[in-house]
């Protein structure tokens, strides 16, 4: 059993947690005693309680930006179910706003795409566009198995260029799309012949994707998906 929790340095660690006697998989649990959690109109998770910090040292501007009244603005997007279990759906700063004005949190779509054994990373794109696209990277640990399955040379450049690989990944993307509303579905994708790396500035030391860097490095690949 894995029991997830959620919190920030600004909340003195945990704010919500699943417990052995009260858990719901896919969530980060319910608010701890003395803690209040609510969801703002824009979907941001707000936290209040005696454990919330008073402010950033010698930085009044950042402190003011961190609060909505007496609620701490987490910067995370989430949902509360009827029983008070919190589900984190993404980061507010990562929101994609389509040309029709629909707000989409890409992280949950990317996480679903990464469930494929063949995909290492997925970066969704579509701000001010009419549909979403994605940049996919191959799972290096599965490259040999993929090559064997399709009777190809186990070379990433060969795999990334082969139509059969794109067809296989297309089926994976379509299977993922069924889990989302039409506006949240991936219409087209591009496959890199390498993984994203920390050395290139595309990943953080904790292996999180640096979205603005990836958007900049592969701007031509994203643009081509709308041609």
Are 137 and 49 members of one domain? Answer: no
d(CA 65, CA 87): 24
Are 30 and 62 members of one domain? Answer: yes
Look up the pTM and report it: 0.80
CB 211 within 8 A of CB 219: no
**What's the pLDDT score for residue 19?**
96
Q: Which pLDDT tens digits describe the chain residue by residue (227 residues)? A: 999 999 999 999 899 999 999 999 999 999 999 999 999 999 999 999 999 999 999 999 999 999 999 999 999 999 999 999 999 988 898 899 999 999 999 999 999 999 999 999 999 999 999 999 999 998 888 988 999 988 988 888 899 999 999 999 999 999 999 999 999 999 999 999 999 999 999 999 988 899 999 999 999 999 999 99
Distant-in-sequence, close-in-space partners of 7: CB < 8 Å, separation ≥ 6: 13, 14, 15, 16
Please count the structural domains in the chain.
2
**What's the pLDDT score for residue 206?**
87
Are 117 and 191 members of one domain? Answer: yes
Q: Which of 60, 93, 126 is the last residue of a domain?
A: 93
Are 84 and 157 members of one domain? Answer: no
The domain that contains 36 carries what CATH number? Answer: 2.30.38.10
Are 62 and 121 members of one domain? Answer: no
The domain that contains 172 carries what CATH number? Answer: 3.30.300.30
Are 114 and 193 members of one domain? Answer: yes
**What's the pLDDT score for residue 88?**
94
d(CA 213, CA 92): 17
Work out whether strand 67-68 and strand 36-39 pair parallel, antiparallel, or are unpaired: unpaired
Are 126 and 216 members of one domain? Answer: yes
CB 95 within 8 A of CB 74: no
Are 120 and 219 members of one domain? Answer: yes
Closest of 224, 129, 115, 125 to residue 178, by C-alpha: 115
Q: Which of 53, 75, 93 is the last residue of a domain?
A: 93
Query: Where in the sequence is the domain holding 179, given as residue range(s)?
Result: 95-224
**What's the pLDDT score for residue 155?**
86
Q: Which of 69, 93, 117 is the last residue of a domain?
A: 93
**Cα-flanking dihedrals φ and ψ of residue 18, to 5°?**
-80, 145
Are 218 and 159 members of one domain? Answer: yes
**What's the pLDDT score for residue 183?**
95
Are 211 and 124 members of one domain? Answer: yes
Are 77 and 10 members of one domain? Answer: yes
Are 86 and 106 members of one domain? Answer: no
């Amino acid at each position: 059993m894995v029991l997830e929790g959620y919190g920030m340095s600004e909340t003195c660690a945990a704010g919500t947690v699943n417990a052995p006697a009260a858990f719901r998989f896919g969530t980060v649990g319910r608010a701890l005693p003395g803690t209040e959690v609510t969801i703002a109109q824009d979907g941001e998770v707000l936290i209040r309680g005696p454990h919330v910090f008073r402010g950033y040292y010698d930085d009044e501007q950042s402190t003011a930006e961190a609060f909505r009244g007496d609620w701490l603005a987490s910067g995370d997007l989430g949902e509360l179910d009827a029983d008070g279990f919190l589900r984190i759906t993404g980061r507010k700063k990562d929101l994609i706003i389509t040309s029709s004005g629909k707000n989409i949190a890409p992280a949950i779509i990317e996480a679903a795409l990464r469930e494929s054994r063949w995909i290492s990373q997925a970066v969704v794109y579509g701000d001010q566009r009419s549909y979403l696209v994605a940049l996919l990277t191959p799972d290096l640990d599965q490259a040999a198995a993929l090559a064997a399955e399709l009777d190809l040379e186990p070379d990433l450049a060969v795999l990334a260029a082969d139509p059969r690989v794109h067809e296989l990944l297309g089926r994976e993307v379509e299977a993922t799309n069924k889990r989302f509303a039409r506006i949240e579905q991936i219409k087209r994708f591009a496959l890199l012949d390498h993984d994203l790396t920390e050395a290139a500035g595309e990943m953080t030391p904790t292996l999180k994707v640096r979205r603005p860097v990836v958007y900049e490095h592969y701007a031509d690949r994203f643009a081509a998906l709308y041609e």
